[in-house]
Structure 1
Amino acid sequence: MNTRVTMADVAAAAGVSTMSVSYTYNRPSRVSDATKDRVHAAAAHLGYTGPNRAARSLRSGKHNSIGVVLGEKLTYAFEDPQARRFLSGIADACLDADTALMMLPNLHRDNDNARIRDAQVDGYVVWTTERDDPLLDVLVDTGRPTCIQGGPDHPGLEWIAIDDRAAADAVATVALEHRKHPAIVALRPDSRRTSSVTHGADPSSISMPVTRARLDGYRDACVRLGIDWSTVPTLFTTHNGRSEGDRAARKLLQDNAIDTLLVMSDELALGTLDAAAASGIDIPSTLAVTGWDDSDAAAAAGLTTVAQSLFDQGRSAARWVLGLSEHVDAAAWKVQERRSTGPENGPQTK
């Protein structure tokens, strides 16, 4: 019968105290190199692989891990450039706290809420979700610190986001300075991921807070500039991908007389540029296009866009969850004007 080797066994074999063995594994700066060498040699001889992390977590109530909740398939975290930036910011904060990162997809399946609730983590950072997502109350009930990027603002949870409504108003104002016939390529309105075209879309009916706020901002600009909102078509996409932007632009350009595309992400906007090029539509003399996020690809394509740092937002959210900061930082944004909205627009910001 095999007996599990304990820390005390290693201490006896190495001729040191049990505390020295504990420090060797958990606080190595507290022991000398010679002691560490003796402990590691004894551990190797006895087949000791280190302290039981699960047992230690049960005793301390700490797991040294943070959960990242994504309302997307896990592959999205690696494929979407902005998701990668956001996760990089979280990972950077984890380095400061010597903390692991656990990916937790939330696809609204029957077992998702329980799996996320029972994850061995000390807190959560959530990629934006719907206002009525039942997971939000589940996260509150865990008592663990939780911060949501992009909202919604939910009682008992922290959140971080730019002022999406003001940013949408600002970028639409730039694009519509000399134009009067916009169309909108919007992020999905809810978890059902339905794709549809709506004229005069009602932002209050949108469950996703980011989509709702940006649509509000586009409407604000149209109304202020004398554009009849009821005539403005909005195509709600099924996913945030370049191919989806291409499909959306072809649909809108085929069915509507438009001179401006206000697009809620750079990936979608790059797809609209693909569609315009394939159709022989000149940018910007015939069609102006705006994006959102200011990715490297957007800069290379000359795309006017809303610049924000999802890296900084991810880092700030994670630092708050980890207790490294008492508050989340205010999220900054600016309009980055480029040639997609007019030849007179150079590389400037507003």
Structure 2
Amino acid sequence: MRPTLQTVADAVGVSRSTVSNAYSRPDQLSADLRDRILSAAADLGYAGPDPTARSLRKRRAGAIGVLFTATLSYAFTDPYAVQYLRGLAGAAEEGRTGLLLLPLSMDDEEAAVAAVNDAVVDGFCVYCMPEWHPALAAIQARGLPVVAGQRRPEDGPQTSFVGIDEAAATRAAGDHLVALGHRRLAVLGEYFTVAQVTGPARIASPGDVPYYSDRERLRGYAEALASVGVPWSAVSTVNAARNGRAEGAAAAAQLLDRAPRPTAIAALSDILALGVLDAVRARGLRPGHDISIVGFDDIPDAATEGLTTVHQPAAERGRRSGLLLLDPPTDPADRTVVLPTKLVVRATTGPAPS
């Protein structure tokens, strides 16, 4: 029979709570008594209280659950995700807790919900998930603190928000392009459709996009174009199969190999924008002269490539998310953090070609 806390208590002739204190509150016991308890436990083959059961009793699991709908390798290879998780990890270290990465399937929603229900965590950080995914409802049902990067009307009072004004960020980029004379704009993103395919995406209006970030970023570009009389129907939109450089180049090819091609391409991430740069250069075109390109995020490679982009503080976003989870404020007004963004103009944008 497997030894238990009670087995050790009976062997030493003390109470269960005294044995428990030997592990969790040694300052409450004399050194001699604690040594006798630990020695008896070793002889009996008792390894100590179960950490999962102990955490549930104390309502502290010692981990933050990080949810995203991507492969696990994405968290370690995507430059923006790496910066975000670095910031989150820094906050976790300060709070003496860990991170539990939970990549949730888009194809098996039942398994995703089960993963959320089974996760032994103190709270959830929603890094990247569509707002209709059933796993979000499962999170709300657990009643744990949640920090999200997207706003949903149905989110409960335990949900905090740490993010940016997505629409204002791309409105600044759009204003920059229209000021340069661009009227034939194309926008390239990963989440214009639920299906992960590369190809044209027919979007009647930005509000039809099922993903919060992409929907808001499209809205910013739409507002900038509307300010100079360009309707949304004049904008070309292409979906990339995933947020990768090769996929960005493949999506850009569908815009560059037709006439008339756009005078500017706005990608909703820097990784996709770098793929656009590859496709443009492969065709002998000059970025910033023959066609303008804008990204989003300001990852390190954006500066190296001279990419005009929108800077958002990825590491700070992760850090603030962790701090809100570990020490939720009592005032609901303090549970919303909107971080600043900045348009960084580099060599890949210029006047629209005549």
TM-score grouping bracket, smaller chain normalisation: 0.7 to 0.9
Partner of residue 299, structure 1: 303
8 Å CA contact 2:308, 2:348 repeated in 1:
yes
From 287, 312, 317, the counterpart of 1:308: 312
SS state at 2:216 partner: helix
SS in 1 for 2:315: helix
> Counterpart amino acid of 2:141?
D
How many Å apart are 1:59 and its aligned residue? 2.4
How do 1:317-332 and structure 2 match up within 5 A?
317-323=321-327, 325=329, 327-332=335-340
Partner residue, 1:264: 268
- Give 1:152 deviation, angstroms: 3.9
Q: Match for 1:230: what amino acid? A: S
The answer to whether 1:81 aligns with 2:86 is no
Aligned residue pairs total 340
Q: Does 1:215 align with 2:233?
A: no
> 1-side partners of 2:97 and 2:230: how far apart?
51
What pairs with 1:133-148 in structure 2 (closer than 5 Å)?
A: 133-148=133-148
Q: 1:171 aligns with which of 167, 170, 173?
A: 173
Query: Residue type of the partner of 2:269?
Result: S
Calculate the TM-score normalised by the size of structure 1.
Answer: 0.85
The question of 1:119 aligning with 2:119 is answered yes
Listed as ranges, the matches of 1:219-298 within 5 Å are 219-255=222-258, 256-298=260-302
Shift of 1:329: 2.9
Question: What residue is the counterpart of 1:347 in the other structure?
Answer: none
Match for 2:221: what amino acid? Y
Change (3 A) 1:61 1:12: same
Corresponding residue for 1:93? 91
Distance 1:59 1:229, change over 3 A: closer
- 1:22-171 equivalence runs, <5 A: 25-26=23-24, 42=39, 46=43, 49-108=47-106, 109=108, 110-156=110-156, 157-171=159-173
Matched residue, 1:348: none
Name the SS for the 2:164 alignment partner.
coil
Question: 1:337 maps to what in 2?
Answer: 345
CA contact (8 A) 1:131 1:209 kept: yes
- Alpha-carbon distance in 2 for matches of 1:175, 1:40: 73
Fraction of identical pairs, as percent: 32
Structure 1 residues without counterparts, runs of 5 or longer:
344-350
Query: Considering only aligned residues, what root-mean-square deviation do their CA atoms show, in Å?
Result: 3.2
Tell me, in whole angstroms, the C-alpha distance in 1 between the residues paired with 2:297 and 2:25. Answer: 42
Distance 1:6 1:314, change over 3 A: farther
Instruction: For residue 79 of structure 1, report the CA deviation from its aligned partner.
Output: 1.5
Q: Deviations over 1:286-319 (max 9, x none)?
A: 1111100010000111111111112212222222
- Alpha-carbon separation, structure 2, partners of 1:200 and 1:189: 8
Determine helix, strand or coil for the equivalent of 1:154: coil
Q: Is the 8 A contact 1:261 1:287 kept in 2?
A: yes
- The alignment's TM-score, normalised by the length of structure 2, stands at 0.84
Tell whether the 8 Å contact from 1:316 to 1:328 is kept in structure 2 after alignment: no
Q: Distance in 1 between matches of 2:341 and 2:18?
A: 51
Q: Distance in 2 between matches of 1:194 and 1:219?
A: 23
Which piece of structure 1 moves more, 43-52 or 265-274? 43-52
What is the CA distance between 1:189 and its match in structure 2? 2.4
Q: Deviations over 1:126-171 (max 9, x none)?
A: 1232232222222111111112123445321332221111111101
CA distance in 2, matches of 1:275, 1:39: 72
Is the counterpart of residue 192 in structure 1 residue 195 in structure 2?
yes
